[in-house]
């Protein structure tokens, strides 16, 4: 089975009849709702479709909501678009009406831009396709010279090379979307453009106040976030390497090394990692990926990503199912490399928690014995999470009675959720019941060795305190 998980973004392409079911069959484990597009009704409809389709297929599929964040953009042009020529003057004017842009100036959505920049700064527009150098700041006007020109249309993003724009991570729209995410009972919520742990803590506070229990995903897409990666990771459950805006801010050549650094840091802190952006971008229009795209996915797997993500490829692409199939194939191929099944994770650490120590001992045992499967009886999913930090080729089955837990662990590398009510199967028949489930699903054969972790006090989160080595049948 594929151990690396696939996150697929929903959109018009996945709304077509039968496509969602085929995506799940092809290997999607988590679906993403991009809050930058569509409205509340679209999100409610898609959440309902995912839950119904997954239930009909007997699957546990997580749903990730992705907040838009303070995307800083140019306003609209009266003529639709302009072509900026190298060496020409161009003004970003925070006071200009939203639809009054022309060949010489355009408004901006971020009114504090003049305060955040100074002469000599480099501003990158349209994902770095256009480069402006700031010459002067006069009131609301940021006066620039075009260094790299091109066609510019309304709504394109603005980044400052090296970061440093002070826009907060959460906008009024995000706050309203957090309330919607709580109402829809999403499993994960991604915060865009966080600069520090405080941004994640604010989002968590708002989410909990609204009654939401989603786990938080920190999207690393600002230069400042790379600098503060450890504190941001500690304040989150998941880290996403969002390489689009990040590449614009730090420079595309820096992204591969920074990606590896972020993944190492997050995994060392027992955080889940998603690698995202343009992983199979050509498949928006083409039925097969490029060799470079396959290598990109494979390297993300080899780096230790829990999941790889598709955006436009599935949301608006012509071949959403083929994109998932190609990504799943790339993941499986990379997982055959020895580097994905050897680990020195936390070998020199002292464990403060019993359940974490049991998880680590289980994985050490599994990697040094002939073991077919690992079964974690879990309430919260924490034991399965800690196990999944250890590189291994042995599947981890998270047996849980909690549907929310099963959906969450669907994102963890090498972990597969299985419905199981431990309270109904206590006593001498517990492992017989577990064996029956494994055998019925074709996951083991009679006589296979299985490692089982559980707590003596069944049904209590954080109570895992034992590991047993058992044989099926």
Burial 19-38 (b: 16+ CB within 10 A, else e): ebbbbbebbbbbbbbbbeee
Dist CA 223 CA 233 (whole Å): 15
User: What are the φ/ψ torsions at residue 384 (nearest 5 degrees)?
Assistant: -65, -35
Dist CA 204 CA 176 (whole Å): 14
Q: Give me the helix-helix angle, 172-183 and 197-209, nearest 10°.
A: 50
Q: Decide the pairing of beta strands 81-84 and 150-153.
A: antiparallel
For 247, residues 6+ apart whose C-beta sits below 8 A from its C-beta are 128, 254, 255, 277
Nearest to 152 by CA among 68, 36, 73, 220: 73
Identify the H or E element spanning 63: strand 62-66
Tell me how crowded residue 174 is: count the other CB atoms within 10 A of its CB: 21
In angstroms, what CA-CA distances link 4 with 87, 405, 434? 47, 18, 24
Nearest to 372 by CA among 455, 446, 425: 446
Q: Decide the pairing of beta strands 62-66 and 150-153.
A: unpaired
CB 11 within 8 A of CB 43: no
Q: Of 73, 271, 372, 389, which is the active-site residue?
A: 73
Q: Is 407 known to be catalytic?
A: no
Dist CA 36 CA 66 (whole Å): 8
Tell me how crowded residue 459 is: count the other CB atoms within 10 A of its CB: 14
DSSP H helix total and E strand total for the chain: 16, 21
For 192, residues 6+ apart whose C-beta sits below 8 A from its C-beta are 66, 67, 68, 69, 70, 71, 169, 174, 219, 221, 242
Q: Is 277 known to be catalytic?
A: yes
CB 438 within 8 A of CB 419: no
Q: Of 3, 43, 219, 222, which is the active-site residue?
A: 219
Dist CA 224 CA 249 (whole Å): 10
CB 460 within 8 A of CB 380: no
Q: Of 4, 9, 14, 32, which is the active-site residue?
A: 32
Q: Of 277, 362, 378, 464, which is the active-site residue?
A: 277
Sign of CA dihedral 397, 403, 405, 411: positive
Provide the annotated active-site residues.
Answer: 32, 73, 219, 277
């Amino acid at each position: 089975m594929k151990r690396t998980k696939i996150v697929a973004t929903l959109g018009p392409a996945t709304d077509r009849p039968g496509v969602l079911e085929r995506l799940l069959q092809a290997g999607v484990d988590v679906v993403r709702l991009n809050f930058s597009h569509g409205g509340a009704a679209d999100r409610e409809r898609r959440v309902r479709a995912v839950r119904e389709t997954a239930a009909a297929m007997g699957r546990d599929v997580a749903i990730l909501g992705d907040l838009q964040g303070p995307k800083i953009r140019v306003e609209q042009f009266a003529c639709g678009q302009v072509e900026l020529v190298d060496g020409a003057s161009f003004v970003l004017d925070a006071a200009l009406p939203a639809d009054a842009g022309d060949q010489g100036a355009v408004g901006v959505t971020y009114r504090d831009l003049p305060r955040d920049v100074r002469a000599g700064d480099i501003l990158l527009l349209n994902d770095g396709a256009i480069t402006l150098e700031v010459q002067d700041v006069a009131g609301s006007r940021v006066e620039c010279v075009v260094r790299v020109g091109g066609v510019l249309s309304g709504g394109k993003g603005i980044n400052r090379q090296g970061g440093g724009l002070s826009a907060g991570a959460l906008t009024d729209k995000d706050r309203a979307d957090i309330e919607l995410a709580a109402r829809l009972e999403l499993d994960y919520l991604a915060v865009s453009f966080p600069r520090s742990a405080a941004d994640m803590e604010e989002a968590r506070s708002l989410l909990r106040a609204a009654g939401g229990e989603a786990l938080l995903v920190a999207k690393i897409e600002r230069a400042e976030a790379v600098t503060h990666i450890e504190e941001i990771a500690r304040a989150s459950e998941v880290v996403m390497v969002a390489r689009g805006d990040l590449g614009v801010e730090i420079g595309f050549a820096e992204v591969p090394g920074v990606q590896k650094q972020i993944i190492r840091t997050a995994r060392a802190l027992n955080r889940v990692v998603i690698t995202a952006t343009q992983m199979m971008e050509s498949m928006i229009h083409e039925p097969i990926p490029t060799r470079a795209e396959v290598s990109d996915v494979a390297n993300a797997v080899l780096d230790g990503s829990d999941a790889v993500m598709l955006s436009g490829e599935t949301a608006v692409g012509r071949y959403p199912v083929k994109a998932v199939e190609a990504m799943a194939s790339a993941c499986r191929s990379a997982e055959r490399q020895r580097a994905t099944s050897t680990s020195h994770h936390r070998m020199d650490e002292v464990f403060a928690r019993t359940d974490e120590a049991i998880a680590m001992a289980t994985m050490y045992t599994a990697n040094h014995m002939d073991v077919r499967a690992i079964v974690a009886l879990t309430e919260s999913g924490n034991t399965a999470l800690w196990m999944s930090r250890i590189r291994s080729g042995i599947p981890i089955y998270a047996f849980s009675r909690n549907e929310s837990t099963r959906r969450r662990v669907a994102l963890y590398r090498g972990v597969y959720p299985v419905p199981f009510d431990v309270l109904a199967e206590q006593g001498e028949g517990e492992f017989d019941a577990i064996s029956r489930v494994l055998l019925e699903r074709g996951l083991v054969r009679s006589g296979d060795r299985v490692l089982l972790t559980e707590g003596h006090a069944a049904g209590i989160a954080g109570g895992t305190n034992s590991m047993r080595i058992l044989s099926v049948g």
